[in-house]
Structure formats: structure tokens, C-alpha cells
Structure 1
Amino acid sequence: MPRLDPATTALLTVECQNGVVGDESALPELAKEARDSGMLGRVAALVDAAHAAGVQVLHAVAERRPDGRGANTNARLFRAAGKLPVRQLTGSRAVEVAAPIEVAADDLVLRRLHGLSPMAGTDLDPLLRNLGIRTLVVTGVSSNIAIPNTVFDAVNLGYQVVVPSDAITGVPASCTAEVIRNSLALVAAITTTEALTAEWALPR
């Protein structure tokens, strides 16, 4: 993994929100995997290390209006999400970033009402460019859908992407290793939480 300059690197958490990985998740199997595997704690550790190193942190949150206006309905996933008992409604606890991840005053929280990726059709790309970011560290859920979408979108837009393999997860757990090996490793630098936190702790 190349040295990551805090001035041009950002850390992105993807859908690490109460309604996805929290105790009252709409997706309990995914939430259990995120907690039991230690992934959620490692994302929190990366966020803390990024804050200490001066790395910009962004949190991508998926939500919907109570009336569903503007939300996708063109895939089974979207239609099923609209019927779940826990809905990611704007302004609700479900769309707050989940503990133990700390949201600092300088962090940016990006909310989207549509799609599978926090990069497509949102403010994420222009915000990163305005901040002078060239490298994006992607963490969160899920390795089934949102994480690959985010990585591919970022690579297509010219960013160098880094994925800490132990700070993403999906269901079943075996899916994550397969996605990393067969897809993400072809387009992103694969690392670990330990290596990243050590990198950001180095004197500049």
C-alpha cells in the first residue's frame, strides 16, 4: 500500500447507521455480522485514527422519505426495503451513524434518497474534489452491494481507492472474502485496519 497523505486522503463509512448495523437494524443478520466480526469496532478505530491524523472523514447514509418519493423501485432490493419493519426514514434514529463510531464536527454526513452507491448522483464526488482528495478509503457495508458499487464508482472517477479488508462486511460472511479476492483487489489497494492506523500514526 502506498503512503497515504492525510491532506489528500479521505475516509468514507458506508451505511454504518443504526437502521443497518445498529441494535434495531432492518437487516439483523447483517447487523450481527458487523458486530460479531468486529467490523463495526474497526471502522470506529479507523475513524478515530483519521481524526487524529487530520484525515477528512465522511459518512454516507441511505435514507428515504416517509412517502418514498424519489426512491428507486426498479429492483427487488428496493421494493423489499420499503416493506421492512425498520425503515430508514429521514430524521429518524435509524439514519444516525451507529455507535461506537464518533462523528466529529469536521466530518461530512452525506444522505441519499436513491440508488445503490453513495457516489452516484450525490454530492460526494464534488465535495471530495473541492477538498483536494485523491485517495478514498472505503469502509462499511455491505460487501454484497454498496461497497463494490462505491469502489467501482470512485475508480471510474479517477480516485485511488483503498479498502481495509477487515472493515467491510456482508452476508454471508464468506461473501466478503470472495468479493475482495475476485473483484475489489483488481481495482483497489487492499489493506487492514491495523496497517492503516499505523500509517496514520506515523510522524509527518
Structure 2
Amino acid sequence: MAERQPLAALVDPAHTALLTVECQRGVVGPGSALPELAAAVRADGTLTRVAALVAAARAAGATVLHAIAERRPDGRGANRNAPLFRAVERLPVRQVTGTPATEVADEITVAACDLVVRRLHGLSPLAGTEVDALLRNLGVRTLVVTGVSLNIAVPGAVFDAVNHGYTAVVPADAVAGVPAHYAAAVLRHTLALVATVTTTDALLASWRRSGQLH
């Protein structure tokens, strides 16, 4: 068995990007379309840890990319080929382009150097979007995936990252899903097989040890 690469080397800011998945007001904010998920993210501090990782990654010199899911007011181009998409159309809060629901959550600072990629379709921030091309142009080889949810979008992002040749890293305490026991099972029995599962504190410590944070 190949020796596991040390975390600090794996997440060297020179070739690492931190991705926030659907950390937007309409998903994790007080007026969320998914109140159970939003409550879970806030109750256990997930959103606070995502915010800390964003700030630390940026300070260390890593790329920060925010992935937003939205739809046109008329719904053109949106998927309708799964029960989830049809259910989304009936929710009281719609992730409509240009509305507060599609803004990054208040807890997370978006800097001018960050990338924000918005998608009108699909389940993953990478499939059919410009994320892969942007990361390759920046020399990124490791993708740290944070955000929501472990039910669908986060696993989708991890699988697509691996399929595109990136090394995926998942801080277990900076991702969330519902119910909590299912989210834990996804991390243990699925994502741990294809990604390096770690913690927020371990990532911060690795960046500090690399000499990038002071």
C-alpha cells in the first residue's frame, strides 16, 4: 500500500483550492428553503468553520472558490429529470438569480480575489461548469471541499473532482447533511474511500506549519 502523503504537503497553498458548496443565504441562511439543513449547519458550527477555512485559505495564498446553485426566474435550462428538481420548484424560497437567496452566506467573507461560479443546472459544482478549467488554469491539484450538503452536492463535488484528476480533501466538521447520522455514514463509508477526510483544525495547523500563515 502506498504511503499516505502528509496533509501539509497535500494542501500546499501553491496547488490547493478551497471550494464552498452552496453556502448561500437561500440554503444555509435564516430564510433558507431547507430549514432543517440550515438549522443543523448553524447549531453545530459548520458554517463558522467554513468561514474560518475560507479566511485561512485566502491568507495562506490558496485559491478560494464559491459554488452557487441558482435558477432563472422563468426556470429555463433547469433540470426536471429527478424528484429533487421537481420538489425544488415547489419550495417557498427559490434560488433565483440576482436575489438575496443566491448571495454567499453573511458569515463568509467574499474577497475580490475569490472566484464565484454560478450554475443553472445539475447536482454538482463541477459537472458542466467552468470550475475545472479555472482550477487547471491556476495550477490546482488538490480541492478542499466544504459546505452542503452531504446528501447530494458535496459527494457529487468530491466524485467529480476525483474523476477529473484532482485529489479531494474533506474537513468532516466543515460539511453537513441531514439527518446527522446519515451525514456521518456518508463520510465514513463513502467519501473516506475517495478523499482524505480530515478536520478544520488539522487543515489550519497544516497551513500554519507550511509557513504560509502567521
TM-score, structure 2 normalization: 0.94
SS of 2:67's equivalent in the other structure is strand
Picking from 68, 75, 82, the partner of 2:75 is: 68
2:125 and 2:92 map into 1 onto residues whose CA distance is 23
Query: In 1, distance between residues paired with 2:104 and 2:41?
Result: 14
Q: Which position in structure 2 is the counterpart of 1:197?
A: 204
1:186: which partner in 2?
193
The answer for the alignment partner of 2:3 in structure 1 is none
Moved more, 128-137 or 3-12: 3-12
Instruction: Identify unmatched segments of 5+ residues in structure 2.
Output: 1-5
> What pairs up with 1:1-204 in 2 under 5 angstroms?
1-2=6-7, 3=9, 4-202=11-209, 203=211
Contact 1:49-1:201 within 8 A present in 2 as well? no
Which structure 1 segments of 5+ residues have no match? none
- How far apart are the structure 1 equivalents of 2:69 and 2:99? 12
Q: Which amino acid aligns with 2:81?
A: N
Equivalents in 2 of 1:181, 1:102: separation in Å? Answer: 30
Deviation at 1:201, TM superposition (A): 1.9
Runs of 4+ in 1 over 4 A off after TM superposition: none
**CA RMSD after TM alignment:** 0.8
The residue type equivalent to 1:135 in the other structure is T
Residue 140 of structure 1 aligns to a residue whose secondary structure is strand
Greater Cα shift, 136-145 or 192-201: 192-201
Aligned residue pairs, count: 204
TM-superposed deviation, 1:176: 1.4
What is the one-letter code of the residue matched to 2:128?
A: G
Question: How many Å separate the matches in 1 of 2:61 and 2:132?
Answer: 20
TM-score normalised according to structure 1 size: 0.98
Distance across 1 between alignment mates of 2:207 and 2:108: 18
The alpha-carbon deviation at position 83 of structure 1 amounts to 1.1
